[in-house]
Amino acid sequence: MDVSQYLEIFIDETKEHLQTLSDQLMILEQEPENMDTINEIFRAAHSLKGMAGTMGYKRMQRLTHDMENVFQEIRSGNMKVQPELIDVLFRGLDALEAYLAEILESGNEGTEENEEIINTLNSIAAKATGKEPPEPMKTAQPQETASASTEEAPAEAKYTSIQINDYEKNTFDKAVQQKENIFGITVYLQETCILKAARAFLVFKALEEHGEVIKAVPNVQDIEDEKFDFDFSLVYFTKDSAETIKKAIENVSEVKKAIVGAFMPEMEKSEESEKHDTPKEVKKDEKAVNNAGAAQQTVKKAENKKAAKKNTKTTKPTVGRTVRVDIEKLDVLMNLVSELIIAKNGLVSMSSSDDSKKDSGFNEQIEYLESVTTNLHESVMKVRMVPIESVVSRFPRMIRDLNKKLNKKMELHMTGEETELDRTVIDEIGDPLQHLLRNAADHGLESNEERLALGKEEVGQIYLDAYQDGNNVNIVVRDDGAGIDVEKVKQKAIEKGNITPEQAEIMTDKDVIDLLFKPSFSTAEKITDVSGRGVGLDVVKTKIEGLGGNIECKTVLGEGSSFIIRLPLTLAIIQALMVELGKEKYAIPLGSIQTIEDIPVSDVKHVQTKEVINLRGTVIPLIRLDQILDVETNEEEPESLTVVIVKKGDKQAGLVVDNLIGQQEIVIKSIGDYINCSKLIGGATILGDGEIALILEVNTLV
């Protein structure tokens, strides 16, 4: 049965089941007696087993089968959940994930048997129930390889599967008349062989001295072009014996092995009859090969595996990226599309109606169209939105492992897993978050003893909070550990020559912490000595900025630190305020705008030579956009300034603009990599009249 069409479903569902297993195992570890959890795990393992079986993933099936068995025993009360069992189960889970990854990559489950996990599972089950342990896998192993090697032999002599067409059959008959021997030959080249085509050519040349090559698989052209792995098969006529031919081939250097055997053109014939027809000497020869090869067989098997793996690695992943969409969301989309069609029809009929009605009717229809497209956009965006849960759900497990590995007691608290982000962002955000969490666990939190000595709760707390904030989604990774020692970072930075002592004097704490995100600062061990931070934080930062977001760090020495990641909700279309500067138009993303104010020039104050305004008690720095963007403007200063107040986190700034045009939905387009404009410009958009407006990157301005 062809199951490839179910592959995507299989992968999605397997992921879900694995996640359930992981979640439930975490619960089980806390509450070993929880019957609901045990049942849930049993069900998930059972479905996994069934699905893997249907898809033909035997190894996966066996592993899940044994996991299921263990739970069967627990369910029926024959055994209790012990910590070591949980550990093994988690390892089993990892193994299943590895299978899944392999399937994603290559479409098959790979060859890892995970004997050890299976054995441990079985022995635990056996010990607990007092039953005779099922025959350990290890003893079964030799038999299996033995049977495998006998199976392998015909598989290695690949020539047996060469197909012969009518034309070639004629030559065959002729050869038989001339009493020539017909051999099938499979030549294996060494895996290290570089000039495979050249070696193959030498093999052909050697063969031509003794007889005639009738057919090659892959064909001669492909062999010349090196379009074969490390073996090729031939059909060959000769008057010489198999022995001589074999020798001739193996004389060519870098040939690992040649298998020569009688070749029967009729493929329908069973192997039995084929062997009967085989001349005796050849049969013997083949046997000798088999015997000699038997010892190497296991090694060879492993090599084959490796080779096979290499091959599959180069192929593209077999499964595309998918999003599971709620059917309701699709219904809404469908509905909107039909409304769009109605709107179009409305316009069509309007254009054919008489002039007097036209004007008012057109406006009405355009308004209708506008509302439909806005809704359509929103719905499409929603379809692309995925709850952040799909990335963060693996973190409790990770913290659990770190618990054991670092020998530190800690807890992870997550909130806002339901917060939704664009699929492309979700795919990318996992690694940076993992990085930050690891940092928090490894370096942020003090050891349990230190915590007790400091009068803190023994168990370290790590928080992962996600929430929506305007057009952004904020993700905060927070710990209640030691915090970052700013002074030490400063010293290290001076030592490393990143800053001068004079610079260090005037640097604010924030500036110092920003140093941690500098690439030059991320050499792991050194920074761990200083502050326990900075391992690859620059990578985290680059990744997040690549997604159009930003990251900042707040820390209080002795109380912990938090990393705040701010990500854009959507990537492609945003609401923006269009403003005018001189004759140029710019767009400011609405999400970062707080208010728009009219400020009399007389209210502008100067603090440290910088212009500020005092807006309802808050001092806000002014940014003269025309100066920053080198826009030519009128010399004369107007009586009042139009100031757009924008925010980045809790920082505010006032952007001075000449004119406000209005709010508009804009499609963000990249201006390409060629132009280097110091990140002031986040992109461009095309306005209704075909003109281009640049989008200001508020995060760089503030």
Partner 1 sequence: MEDVNEVQNVEVVDEGIQYIVVRIGSEQYGIDIRYVDNIVRNQRITRVPKAQPYFKGVINLRGEIIPVMSLRLKFGLEPDEFTNATRIIIIKPESQSAIGIIVDEVKEVVTLDSASIEKPNSADANDVQAKYLSGIGKYEDSLITLLNITSVIIDKENV
Active site residues: 46, 68, 439
Shortest separation between residue 12's beta carbon and partner 1, angstroms? 33
Shortest separation between residue 653's beta carbon and partner 1, angstroms? 17
Nearer to partner 1, 399 or 666 (CB): 666
Cα dihedral 555→558→560→561 (10° resolution): 20
Shortest separation between residue 674's beta carbon and partner 1, angstroms? 5
Q: Assess 355 for contact with partner 1 (CB under 8 A).
A: no
Nearer to partner 1, 193 or 671 (CB): 671
Eight-state DSSP code of residue 133: P
Shortest separation between residue 667's beta carbon and partner 1, angstroms? 9
Q: Which residue has the tokens 């995060």?
A: 699
Q: Which stretch binds partner 1 (CB under 8 A): 177-185, 352-360, 484-492, 674-682?
A: 674-682
Nearer to partner 1, 163 or 678 (CB): 678
Nearer to partner 1, 155 or 686 (CB): 686
Q: Assess 694 for contact with partner 1 (CB under 8 A).
A: yes
Nearer to partner 1, 429 or 701 (CB): 701
Which of 630, 636, 637, 650: binder of partner 1 (CB under 8 A)? 630
Shortest separation between residue 658's beta carbon and partner 1, angstroms? 15
Q: Assess 608 for contact with partner 1 (CB under 8 A).
A: no
Nearer to partner 1, 662 or 672 (CB): 672
Nearer to partner 1, 505 or 630 (CB): 630
Q: Assess 690 for contact with partner 1 (CB under 8 A).
A: yes
Candidates 320, 430, 388, 313; CA nearest to 12 is: 320
Eight-state DSSP code of residue 78: S
Query: Residue 610 belongs to what H/E stretch?
Result: strand 610-615
Which of 352, 501, 676, 688: binder of partner 1 (CB under 8 A)? 676
Which of 628, 660, 661, 702: binder of partner 1 (CB under 8 A)? 628
Q: Which two tokens stand for residue 90?
A: 């988690």
Q: Which stretch binds partner 1 (CB under 8 A): 537-545, 570-578, 610-618, 686-694?
A: 686-694
CA angle 424, 430, 432 (to 5 degrees): 110
Which of 587, 693, 698, 701: binder of partner 1 (CB under 8 A)? 693
Which of 86, 494, 564, 681: binder of partner 1 (CB under 8 A)? 681
Which of 277, 458, 469, 691: binder of partner 1 (CB under 8 A)? 691
CA 110 – CA 102 distance, rounded (Å): 6
Show contacts with partner 1 in window 422-461 (CB under 8 A).
none
Q: How many residues interact with partner 1 (rule CB under 8 A)?
A: 24
Nearer to partner 1, 211 or 589 (CB): 589
Q: CB pairs under 8 A, 24+ apart, for 553-557?
A: 553/484, 553/513, 553/516, 553/517, 555/483, 555/484, 555/486, 555/513, 556/483, 557/482, 557/483, 557/484, 557/485, 557/486
Nearer to partner 1, 9 or 680 (CB): 680
Which of 2, 135, 635, 673: binder of partner 1 (CB under 8 A)? 673
Contact string 173-212 vs partner 1 (x = CB under 8 A): ----------------------------------------
Contact 241, 180 (CB under 8 A): no
Q: Which residues contact 106 (CB under 8 A, 6 or more apart)?
A: 312, 313, 315, 317, 318
Q: Assess 670 for contact with partner 1 (CB under 8 A).
A: yes
Q: Assess 688 for contact with partner 1 (CB under 8 A).
A: no
Shortest separation between residue 694's beta carbon and partner 1, angstroms? 6
CA 448 – CA 456 distance, rounded (Å): 9
The radius of gyration computed from the CA coordinates of the chain, to the nearest angstrom, equals: 35
Shortest separation between residue 681's beta carbon and partner 1, angstroms? 6
Q: Assess 546 for contact with partner 1 (CB under 8 A).
A: no
Neighbours of 564 (CB within 10 A): 16
Show contacts with partner 1 in window 650-669 (CB under 8 A).
669
Q: Assess 680 for contact with partner 1 (CB under 8 A).
A: yes
Q: Assess 584 for contact with partner 1 (CB under 8 A).
A: yes
Shortest separation between residue 671's beta carbon and partner 1, angstroms? 6
Omega before 218 within 30 of 0, i.e. cis: yes
Nearer to partner 1, 498 or 633 (CB): 633
Sign of CA dihedral 10, 16, 21, 22: positive
Beta bridge partners of 411: 461
Q: Which two tokens stand for residue 133?
A: 């342990």
CA 433 – CA 408 distance, rounded (Å): 20
Eight-state DSSP code of residue 520: G
Shortest separation between residue 630's beta carbon and partner 1, angstroms? 5
Shortest separation between residue 41's beta carbon and partner 1, angstroms? 49
Q: CA neighbours within 13 Å on the CB side: how many for 210?
A: 22
Q: Which two tokens stand for residue 181?
A: 């021997």
Q: Where are the beta strands (DSSP E) in 178-270?
A: 181-189, 211-217, 231-238, 255-262
Contact 630, 615 (CB under 8 A): no
CA 192 – CA 346 distance, rounded (Å): 71
Show contacts with partner 1 in window 5-24 (CB under 8 A).
none
Contact 217, 233 (CB under 8 A): yes
Query: Which residues of the shown chain bind partner 1 in the complex (CB under 8 A)?
Result: 584, 628-631, 669-678, 680-681, 684, 686, 690-694
